[in-house]
Amino acid sequence: MTTNTYFDWLLSETSTTWWHDSADPDELATGLSRGASGVTTNPLLSAQTLRQRPEYWRDLVLGIPTDLRGDALAEARMQIVVRATAQKLQGVFTSTRGAQGYVCAQVNPARVADRESMLAQARRHNRWAPNIAVKLPATAAGLDVLEECAADGITTTMTVSFTLPQVLAIAETFRRGRARARQAGKPDSRCFAVVMIGRLDDYLRDVALDRKSAVSETDIRQAGLAVVKRAVKIFKEQKYEATLLIAALRGTWHMTELAGADLIMSISPDNQTKLLAPDVVREQRINTPISPEVIGRLQKIPEFTKAYEPDGMQPEEFITYGVTQRTLTQFVESGWKLLES
């Protein structure tokens, strides 16, 4: 079978699907034309498009009440971007009967330990459109909110997640919440368990350099891949209902080495362009293992072991994992605070 682009090949020859990772309306149109079946947004991406494309959003922004301040203003601004994006995915959502076509709406990243606040915000976000996937942090508090959302039939995306222990905790928590929903006669929801693969690599690179660890850049570039490949295997064995969503790609290798897995890739416009190059490998490589020698060298870094082993961390430790704090800070300082101002 002859195909035109990598995306044509991916969607026709593998079980891997993909989401567009940007809130810019023109970039979104391009992503949808290439076959994206969902959209990743967050406070950072929402703030960026509102500031970079003011003419596009002007009329909607003018409808925001002038007396809103702080969290209320940030949420109102994010709602504009998310609802407009959700409308563009409504056709996909309807035609697939809710299997695809979701758009993320993230709760306030400054309140990741506040269960009541996150749950209340999740319920508000869920009312924005039928194809919203409420974005929660994969922390102990966020997992508690996930269970309540699943019990209420609210679809979620669990973000600020980098490790195997996190996605396993997500899958188990979602299973409990979904069972509660069925017992109560409520509709099934979906749950997307994120692995921010490139952010994990970035973090481990810094840790390795600081500790003068004997690992190469080639080893580091396989760390996140090792975590995801192990997660794919366990998800299949356990028949988890949650779906892995791989985000924060740093290059085409993150895409090509996972092709063929039953998961979703969240792909930025830059990486979409790189994947259009004619020399990008078109091969299902999900079952190609990471070398045991590479794993052995990486395991000399305690932070990799925490990320790679199923019991590497307990939920109470997720919020203190270094890359969790780094990512939350960026979401707050470069995203949510800009939406407030």
Q: How many domains does the chain have?
A: 1
> Tokens for 46?
């929402």
**pLDDT band for position 1 (50/70/90)?**
very low
* Domain boundaries, position 75: 6-340
Q: What is the CATH number of the domain that holds 99?
A: 3.20.20.70
> Tokens for 251?
């290059």
**pLDDT band for position 251 (50/70/90)?**
very high
pLDDT at residue 3, rounded to an integer = 56
Structural domain contains residue 177: yes
Per-residue burial over 271-294, b if 16 or more Cβ lie within 10 Å, else e, is: bbebbeeeebebebbbeeebeeeb
Structural domain contains residue 274: yes
Q: In the predicted model, what is the mean pLDDT of the chain?
A: 96
**pLDDT band for position 151 (50/70/90)?**
very high
Does the pTM exceed 0.85?
A: yes
Structural domain contains residue 78: yes
Structural domain contains residue 262: yes
Q: Cα dist. 93→117, 154, 186, 322 in Å? A: 28, 15, 19, 36
Structural domain contains residue 1: no
